[in-house]
Amino acid sequence: MLNEIVFYVNDKKIVFNGNPLTRLIDVLREDLELTGVKEGCGEGECGACSVIKDGKLVTSCIIPVGAVNGSRIYTIEGIRDTEKGRCIIEAFAEGGAVQCGFCIPGMVMAAYALLSSNPHPSEMEIRKGISGNICRCTGYDLIVESIKLASEKGGELWA
């Protein structure tokens, strides 16, 4: 390909020289072995592949890598050991949000994006914030509760 694509994944510089139409999820999962990013539907409907691109929650299965030139991408691997990431993950565990777990890394990313922009969301705001993330196991109540818990426990973290 003519142009190389340069972007950052979890603060690491990535130079991509392949086909710019390659899906971002494939670059993340296969080239970078970031398998915490899950493929649930391949069409941007389920949110299992959610990552944060330049501060916004996006589904990496419908983004061509050519569209992330110059972007900063964070996956679950990039946030799980940060203070905020740990806060959400521990709240998910404590609150019973995790069942089969396949949607959960994406759900954690959605919670991260939500709490970063709205530190103390109401129940409805939480439900809206994760409405692009499908879970077949939990019926969502305990995920919503867990995000509320992360918001409370995180306190200043989210301010």
Partner 1 sequence: MPHTAIDDKVVRVDALVKARGEARYVSDMSFPDMQYAYMIRSSIPRGTIDSIRIPELPEGYWFISAKDIPEEGKNELWMIQKDWKCFAEGDVKYVGETIGLLVGPDRNMLSYLRDKIEIRYTEAEAAITIDEGLAVKGGPIVGEDNVMCSLFVEKGRPMEEVFREADSVFEETIETGFQEHVHLETNGAIITIEDGKYTFYASAQCPFYIRKAVAGLLGLQPEDIVVKQTTTGGAFGGKEHFPDVLCGPLLVAEHKIRKPIKLIFDREEDMLYSVKRHPAKVTYRTALDKDGNILGIDGVVVYNCGPYLSGSFVVLQRGVFHANGVYDIPNTHVKGIGIATNTFPSDAFRGFGAPQTLYAIETHMEHIAKKFGYDPAEYKSRYFIKQGGETITNGHIVEKVVLPEMMKQVVDASDYFRKSKEYAPGSGKGIGISFYNHGGAFTGNGEQAIIKAHARLVKTGEKVRIEVGSTEMGQGFQTSLRKIAAAALGISIDDVSYDNPDTSVVPDSGPTAASRSTMIVGRLIERCAEEMKERWEEGDFSVEKEYEHPEGHPWDQNTFRGDAYLGYGWGCCIVEVEVDKLTREVKVTGIWSSHDIGKAIDELIVHGQVNGGIVQSLGYASMEKMENRNGHFRQSSMSDYVIPTSMEFPKQEWFLVDNPYEWGPFGAKGMGELVFNGADAAYIDAVERALGTEIHRIPMPPEDLEEVLRNA
User: Given the rule CB under 8 A, which residues bind partner 1?
Assistant: 29, 34-43, 45-46, 48, 75-77, 80, 88-90, 92-94, 96-105, 108, 123, 126-128, 130-144
Question: What is the closest distance, in whole angstroms, from the C-beta atom of residue 70 to partner 1 in the complex?
Answer: 25
Question: What is the closest distance, in whole angstroms, from the C-beta atom of residue 38 to partner 1 in the complex?
Answer: 7
Q: Which residues contact 155 (CB under 8 A, 6 or more apart)?
A: none
Complex with partner 1: residue 6 or 17, whichever CB lies closer = 17
Question: What is the closest distance, in whole angstroms, from the C-beta atom of residue 156 to partner 1 in the complex?
Answer: 22
127-136 burial code (b ≥16 CB/10 A, e <16): eebbebbbbe
Site of tokens 């050519």: 66
Strands, E assignment, 10-156: 12-16, 50-53, 56-59, 72-74
Complex with partner 1: residue 58 or 77, whichever CB lies closer = 77
Complex with partner 1: residue 81 or 159, whichever CB lies closer = 81
Question: What is the closest distance, in whole angstroms, from the C-beta atom of residue 136 to partner 1 in the complex?
Answer: 5
Residue 33 tokens, joined: 């072995």
Q: Beta strand pairing status for 5-9 and 12-16?
A: antiparallel
Question: What is the closest distance, in whole angstroms, from the C-beta atom of residue 113 to partner 1 in the complex?
Answer: 14
Site of tokens 């964070």: 74
Complex with partner 1: residue 58 or 143, whichever CB lies closer = 143
82-119 burial code (b ≥16 CB/10 A, e <16): eebbebbbebbeebebbeeebbbbbbbbbbbbbbeeee
Complex with partner 1: residue 124 or 159, whichever CB lies closer = 124
